[in-house]
Structure 1
Amino acid sequence: MIEAVVALALVMVVLGAIGSVVATNVRGVSKLEQRVGLVDAARLVISSMPRGDAIGGRSGEILGHHWQIATSPFVGGAGVAGSRFVPERVEVRLQSPSGAMLSLETIRLRSRDGE
């Protein structure tokens, strides 16, 4: 009788440990899916940026994610003398419906003459 109780206790401990691992994996997968959604939305926002003119600041919503774009002159320099392009710093911020945030910063080349 005592052996059965000990065996049952061991089975419960093992099942509890397995349940803990499964719960951790589920949370990890959920966060990963959330991150992929944010990155996909960021890609869509960046790819839809107008070419040529300076953007300044814009905001909107895409795929349920709120986004903001802010541009500013690149602090690293004005670019190469005589070049048709000038570097511009672009900062993109996204917030998912669940509240997770993603902030990206990149450099793009903008035409000096606005084409």
Structure 2
Amino acid sequence: MSRRISSRRHSEAGFTMIEAVVALALVSIVLAAIGSLVARNVRGAQQLEQHTALMQTARLIASRLPQGGQPLPTELAGREAGYRWQMRISPFVDDETAIPDSPFIPRRIELRVQSPTGAIVSLETLRLQYREERQ
């Protein structure tokens, strides 16, 4: 009887090779999934940082427009910290539809900024400009 017990205990001790391989495969699948998730989060964070820098540059350029109803040029372009930008200013309404008693004329401002990586943002806004006869 002692032989049966000892042989039974010997065969039940530890893991079989198949169990170890299955456990190793499961661990490797979980680690691969975690690695993929971390890589995706890093890429997302980089894209978010690039987009934030692009938007901040666009805001910086737009803030340099003449203030207080001063005359606006029709087109501007340049570079700012490696970002290329172009701005077009056009009438928002024609002279017939403009409010005749208003001291201001609305102007449409279209700003396009391109980052060094090639990402582009386009913004459109309105700015009031004094009528020419008031200047």
Normalising by the residue count of structure 1, what TM-score does the alignment of the two structures yield?
0.91
Residue in 1 aligned with 2:129?
A: 110
Asked if structure 1 preserves the Cα contact closer than 8 Å seen for 2:93 and 2:106, the reply is: no
Unaligned 5+ residue runs, structure 2? 1-16
Aligned with 2:125: secondary structure? strand
Structure 1 residue 56 displacement after superposition: 0.6
Which has a greater percent of helix? 2
Q: How many pairs are equivalent?
A: 115
Which has a greater percent of strand? 1
Residue in 2 aligned with 1:70?
A: 88
Aligned with 2:116: secondary structure? coil
Structure 1 residue 8 displacement after superposition: 0.6
Amino acid at match of 1:22: V
Aligned with 1:13: secondary structure? helix
Q: Rg: which structure is higher?
A: 2
2:26 counterpart of 1:10: yes
Report 1 or 2 for greater relative contact order, CA contacts < 8 Å, sequence distance ≥ 6: 1
Q: 1:32 to 1:93 in 2, by over 3 A?
A: same
Unaligned 5+ residue runs, structure 1? none
Could you report, residue by residue, the CA deviation over 1:60-101 in whole angstroms, capped at 9, with x for unpaired residues? 111211100001110487443211111000000000011110
User: What's the Cα RMSD here?
Assistant: 1.7
Amino acid at match of 2:18: I
